[in-house]
Each structure stands twice: as C-alpha cells, then as structure tokens.
Copies of this chain bind each other. A is one copy, B any other.
Amino acid sequence: MNTNRDNRNKSNKNNIKNIMDELDIIKTIFSNIKYTGNAVKSIGDDCAVFKLGNQYLTITTDMMFKSTHFPEILTPFQIGMRVITANVSDIAAMCAKPLGIVVSMGFDYPKKAFIEELIRGMDFIAKEYECPIVGGDTNKSKELTLCGTAFGITDNPVYRENGEIGDDIVITNNIGRVYCGFKILEMKNKGIINKNTFKNLLNEYPSIVKKLTEPKARVKEGVAINKYITSCCDISDGLGKDLKYMGNFEISSKKLLNAVPKDVVEFCTKFDLNPVDVALNSGEEWELLFTTKRYNNVEEELSKLGTKSIKIGKIIDNGCYIDGNTFKFGGYVHRWSK
C-alpha cells in the first residue's frame, strides 16, 4: 500500500507536466496554429515573409523585459538602441533592407529623463539603420517592457536553412566578446571580483564592454552579400545553438579561433576559459552566420564596408562535426517553474 509514495509520484508527475520550458511552449504554440493564410514563410525563420508584387515583405518581433533582457550596465540610451538592434538584426538576417519599426512600451514608474534617453537611443540607431520608428503603444506594466516589430523589404529573402553541400560557412567580424562581457557582470554579482576589479576590467576591455552594451545589427552587410549567399541567420542565441539552422556541417576550432579577437583570447587566458567554448556560447552578438559558394565575392563586398568575413567550416551531406568529433549543440533555453 504505497499510497503516499504513489500520491507523491503522481504529484511529481503533475508538477513536471506543469513546468514548461521555452521549447515546450513553442511546440504548444506551433501545434495549435492551423491557419497559415498566404505567407511565403511563416513561423520558423528569422522573419515571416509575404510576397507583395515583385518584392518580399519580411517581418519580425522581439519582446524584452528589464529583469531578463537588459544587462545592468546599460544606460537608458543603450536600452533604446538594443530593442531596435535586436529587431533589425532579424531583418538583416534575411538580407533585407529595413523599412520601419513599431515599438510598444510598458512602464512601471516612468520618469521623463529616462524616457527621453530611451527614445533618443532608439531614434539614434533607427537612423543609422535607416529604419524609422513609425508607431507604438504605451502601457502601465510591472516592469519596463519593450516589444519591437521591424519590417523590411527585399527582392530576394535569404532563409536560414538553404545552405548546400560544399558551401562555406562564414561569420562576420568576430565572436566571443559578448560572452566575456556577461562573465565580467557575473563575477561581480557572485562576489568573485570586487567593485574596483570590476571597474578596472571595464576599463581594461573597452571593446568587450562596447560589444556587450552597443552591439550592432549587420544591415549593410546583409544587403551587400544578398546575391552571393545561400542561407543566413544572425547569431543571437550563440553559435553553438544557431549552427543548427545550417543543417549538416563540419567546423574547425582552428578556423573558429580566427574569428576570436585578441582581447577575448587574453581574457580567456586570464580567467581560465576555453576560447572555443566562449566563441560557441556567446549570444546576442548579432553578427551574421551564413553559407556561400562565392566566398571571394562575399569577402570583397564586406571589405568595402570594413567588415571581416571568417570561414569557419563547410556544409556536408550528413552529421554535424567540430574537428572531426560530433558537435554538441548548446545554448540558453528559458525555463519556467512554479
């Protein structure tokens, strides 16, 4: 008569049923959306895509909450930049040109000075991306909540899963700094370093801090390489997770290290981190990750913009490998529990 244990087991099972992570939620959402209308591409890429005449409209949305999305060292101006950049980055990942963005905002205790700086940050970067803020909504909320929806236009939307066997896998600029930036914050918050060391590290690694606080969407890059590439996404969850969109691949840690800048290597040495792991787990980089048969054209186009292009591997016919070993996908998954 194990009634108690049985009940406990039942209760545990119910609890497990009630705990959903982000992937469970997305699966539940997916399976209950039956009506798909006339979209060329619906849920499941960086953007939804519609055909309008000879052009394609691309749409993306990204919602951010103060407690989970904004590193504590961001100024209100940088928070404003971030909500625009996170959204526009998905337009860039389709290699489309931004058309505009709407931003809904929820405020808990709105102060004029904060809102002014927030909007100035949005407006500043919106201009850089040529993506005007054309609408929004304001509400009372329990914490600062910003939800952007950006839309763009292109003759040729580039999806994230169309790479072909033999294509080079390439990333823009560099990778790893954002991970290091979060590491500095984490060490301070866990009391591993004191306030002085924290300040010194911020001064010692300005490019790491800059990439953490003011990452950029690669809009011009996406448009410039549009016709030379076969697939594209942005590095938002970390290469270790975003690589799954590429299908089958082999990458080389040696090549990947070509994309890791010197300051990240130094930082890794100092704090006993593996730079390959850092490169694979650095999210919110918003660099482009793409495949191409025409690396030389890509390199030429990107160099005109002062942007580096680094080959990290190739699309293959079967399996996912790093240095000949099976690749372990990783990355952050939001998890909710009672």
Contacts and interface: CB of A to CB of B under 8 A. Distances in A.
A182 to B, nearest CB: 17
Contacts of A25: 107, 110, 115, 138
Contacts of A192: none
Given A65-B140, A119-B28, A100 B132 contact: no
Given A107-B25, A115-B28, A135 B59 contact: yes
A145 B111 contact: no
A57 interface: yes
A102 B47 CA distance: 10
Contacts of A205: none
Chain A at the B interface: SS class? mixed
A74 interface: no
Contact of A135 (B18, B22, B61): B61
A134 interface: yes
A43 B120 CA distance: 16
A334 interface: yes
A186 interface: no
A107 B24 CA distance: 13
A61 B138 contact: no
Given A35-B132, A42-B132, A29 B115 contact: yes
A109 interface: yes
B29 A138 contact: yes
Interface stretch (A122-130, A155-163, A195-203, A290-298): A122-130
Contacts of A62: 104, 137
A142 B62 CA distance: 17
Nearest to A49: B134
10 contacts: A28-B115, A38-B132, A39-B134, A42-B135, A48-B102, A53-B55, A61-B149, A63-B147, A137-B147, A145-B145
